[in-house]
C-alpha cells in the first residue's frame, strides 16, 4: 500500500466530514435565528441559478429530495433516482433549457431552498403555452415552517403573471400531505393524477392547478 497516498486520503476524508459538520451546524444556527428574529426573513434573497452554480444546485437538490422522501422509499430506489436526476449532465441540460428557470433561496450566502419552473414544451405533462408548471419547490428540513416555501411559491406566481399565464399547475405525491395542504391553502385544486417513477417503483402524483385568470 502507498501509505503516503492513504494518509492524504484519510486527511481528505476527515477534513470533508469536519467541513460538512460545520456546514450543518451553521445552517442550524441560521435556522434558529429565523425563529428568534423573524425580521431576518427580510434578508432572504431569491436568485436565479446559473451554470456556474451547478455544484450548489446538485447539493441542494439531492439533500432536499433525500430529506423529503427517503423515509418512504428504499435506499436502492433513492440512490438510482438521485444519481440520475441530479447528475451533472442532467442539471446542465436543465440550466441550458430556454423554457425552464431555477431559483435559489439564500440567506447569508447559504442555499436553503430552490424553485424550478417550466414553460411551453419543457413542461413535464400538459405543455400548454398558456400554463406554467412548478416542477420543484424544496426547502432544507431545518427551514421548514419558516415561510420559505411561500416565498419561493410567490416567486413562481410573480413569473407566471409576468408571462401572462392563464394558470399554474404541478404534480405532488399523494402521500405528501404537507405539500398538498400547502398548495390547497394557496388555492390549488385537484384536476387529475399521473404516475411518477422513483427507481423501480411507480407512485401516484395528484395534479393540481390554480387559475390566474377568470374564464
> Which residues participate in catalysis according to the annotation?
183
* Rounded distance between C-alpha atoms, residue 114 and residue 104, angstroms: 4
Q: Torsion over CA of 76, 202, 184 and 107, rounded to 10 degrees?
A: 30
Query: What is the number of alpha carbons within 13 Å of residue 34 lying toward its C-beta?
Result: 20
CB-based contacts of 51-59 (< 8 A; 24+ apart in sequence): 51/92, 51/95, 51/96, 53/104, 54/88, 54/91, 54/92, 54/95, 56/104, 56/111, 57/91, 57/95, 57/102, 57/104, 57/114, 58/86, 58/88, 58/91, 59/111
* Rounded distance between C-alpha atoms, residue 18 and residue 21, angstroms: 5
Amino acid at each position: 500500500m502507498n501509505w503516503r497516498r492513504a494518509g492524504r486520503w484519510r486527511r481528505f476524508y476527515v477534513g470533508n466530514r469536519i467541513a460538512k459538520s460545520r456546514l450543518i451546524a451553521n445552517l442550524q444556527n441560521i435556522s434558529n435565528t429565523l425563529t428568534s428574529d423573524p425580521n431576518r426573513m427580510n434578508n432572504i434573497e431569491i436568485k436565479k441559478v446559473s451554470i456556474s452554480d451547478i455544484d450548489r444546485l446538485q447539493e441542494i437538490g439531492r439533500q432536499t429530495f433525500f430529506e423529503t422522501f427517503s423515509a418512504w422509499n428504499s435506499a436502492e430506489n433513492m440512490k438510482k433516482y438521485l444519481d440520475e436526476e441530479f447528475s451533472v449532465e442532467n442539471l446542465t441540460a436543465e440550466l441550458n433549457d430556454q423554457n425552464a428557470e431555477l431559483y435559489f433561496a439564500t440567506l447569508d450566502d447559504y442555499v436553503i431552498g430552490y424553485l424550478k419552473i417550466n414553460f411551453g414544451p419543457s413542461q413535464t405533462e400538459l405543455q400548454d403555452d398558456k400554463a406554467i408548471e412548478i416542477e420543484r419547490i424544496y426547502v432544507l428540513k431545518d427551514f421548514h415552517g419558516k415561510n420559505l416555501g411561500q416565498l419561493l411559491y410567490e416567486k413562481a406566481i410573480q413569473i407566471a403573471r409576468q408571462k401572462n399565464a392563464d394558470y399554474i399547475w404541478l404534480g405532488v405525491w399523494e402521500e405528501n400531505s404537507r405539500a398538498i395542504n400547502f398548495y390547497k391553502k394557496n388555492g390549488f385544486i385537484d384536476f387529475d393524477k399521473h404516475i411518477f417513477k422513483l427507481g423501480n417503483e411507480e407512485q401516484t402524483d395528484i395534479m393540481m392547478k390554480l387559475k390566474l385568470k377568470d374564464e
